[in-house]
Amino acid sequence: MSLAPRDCRAGAGASYDGGVSNGTVLLAEPRGYCAGVDRAVVAVERALEHFDETVYVRHEIVHNKFVVDRLREQGAVFVDEVDEVPEGALVIFSAHGISPKVREMAEQRSLRTIDATCPLVTKVHKEAVRFAREDYDILLVGHEGHEEVEGTAGEAPEHIQVVNSPDDAVNVTVRDPDKVVWLSQTTLSVDETMETVDRLRERFPTLQAPPSDDICYATQNRQVAIKKIAPDADLVLVVGSPNSSNSVRLMEVALEAGAKSSHRIDSVAELREEWFEGVGTVGVTSGASVPDVLVQDLLVELSARGFGDVKPVRTATEDLMFSLPRELRQEMKVRGASDDRTKPTGERATAES
């Protein structure tokens, strides 16, 4: 089965006008797969299809258990580090990005690599490299230990310090308070990040901002949609894995925006009876790494529990599609394999869930 996003079957129908009734589901649109996840997952699928050898993947290609389990069943071998990959073998780097050190280690082992780093993460890496070259102190707002943060910080470790939260702003020390810039992880809460930046700016009034938003379009759009739903929801269910930063943020944002309760679930099997006590309206969304089939399963289950009236709540339309990683396109060309996805990066195509 392909892990490509599905048509939003339950998404068709009346639009939400602010009114709610018993047994209602407010379904966030957009939700689920972003362009970077689609590209990364399809890259692994195509590699499995076209290479007659073991396809290794460093780290989870995206942070979703269902996706990773399916790709593993199809033959992908997931490893924590490149030193687990045999010399000369093929390895795919995950959507979250890698530090230059990982790239060097792969070169030392003569690995053939396909880089599925999201282009919007690469953009942040380039910003980090440029500001480091200009000798700025870079304050990277993000969660220490997350793969994306490790990759970005690894671009210029001597210039970058990670700021984990608004409270963490007090711990920052810089060489020159007039030469400081903030960058961020792509999947943070927009509001919490702005709070962190405000605190940093109190300390460093000339703090520079990233040249363009580092929190990506998909993260922002999913947060805007759930914020619209949350004030009317007794319960917000977010489909996503526990290690998926953007999914966990959606749950927090829902609560912050007025949802009476919110839970993250990997799948319908994790629903708990007690969550539904006194609930008339359920908000539903999913993280950027979540195939829509999991949301459809949830809607079927909600319908069986009396929540059959599904009202889509659309706050944005997404039609971004990234071309597959260059190394993969080249390899497929050599093999005469055609790929109708290979459109130039940033070209608009219909890719809505």
Q: Which residues bind ligand 2E7 (CB under 6 A)?
A: 36-37, 62-63, 95-96, 118, 121, 148, 186-187, 244-247, 287-289
Nearer to ligand F3S, 120 or 229 (CB): 120
* Strand, helix or coil for residue 253: helix
Alpha-carbon radius of gyration of the chain = 21
Residue 3 binds ligand F3S (CB under 6 A): no
Of 60, 147, 148, 318, which one is the catalytic site residue? 148
Q: Which neighbouring-strand residues pair with 162?
A: 140
Residue 43 binds ligand F3S (CB under 6 A): no
Nearer to ligand 2E7, 31 or 311 (CB): 31
Residue range at the interface with ligand F3S (CB under 6 A); choices 33-41, 80-88, 188-196, 345-353? 33-41
Nearer to ligand F3S, 24 or 286 (CB): 286
DSSP structure class, residue 270: G
Two structure tokens written together for 285: 């969304």
Asked if 183 and 127 count as a contact pair (C-beta separation under 8 A), the reply is: yes
Give the residue, chosen from 118, 298, 299, 332, that forms a contact with ligand F3S under the rule CB under 6 A: 118
- Of 282-311, binders to ligand F3S (CB under 6 A) are 288
Interhelix angle for 35-50 vs 65-73, to 10°? 10
**Size of interface with ligand F3S, in residues (CB under 6 A):** 15
**One symbol per residue from 219 to 238: x for binding ligand F3S (CB under 6 A), - otherwise; what is it?**
x-------------------
DSSP structure class, residue 22: T
Q: Which of 96, 34, 45 is nearest to 73 (CA)?
A: 45
Give the residue, chosen from 99, 186, 193, 281, that forms a contact with ligand F3S under the rule CB under 6 A: 186
Residue 63 binds which of ligand 2E7, ligand F3S, none (CB < 5-8 A, kind-dependent): ligand 2E7
Q: Write the single-letter amino acid at 285.
A: T
- CA distance linking residue 271 with residue 310, whole number of Å: 18
Q: Which neighbouring-strand residues pair with 78?
A: 57
- CA distance linking residue 315 with residue 75, whole number of Å: 38
Nearer to ligand 2E7, 78 or 276 (CB): 78
The answer to whether residue 331 is catalytic is no
- Residue 290, CA distances (Å) to 41, 66, 246, 335 in order: 11, 8, 11, 31
Instruction: Map tokens 């903030």 to a residue.
Output: 182
**One symbol per residue from 57 to 96: x for binding ligand F3S (CB under 6 A), - otherwise; what is it?**
--------------------------------------x-
- CA distance linking residue 13 with residue 160, whole number of Å: 48
Residue 36 binds ligand F3S (CB under 6 A): yes
Residue 218 binds ligand F3S (CB under 6 A): yes
Positions that interact with ligand F3S (CB under 6 A): 34-37, 95, 118, 120-121, 186-187, 216, 218-219, 246, 288
User: Which residues are the active-site residues?
Assistant: 148
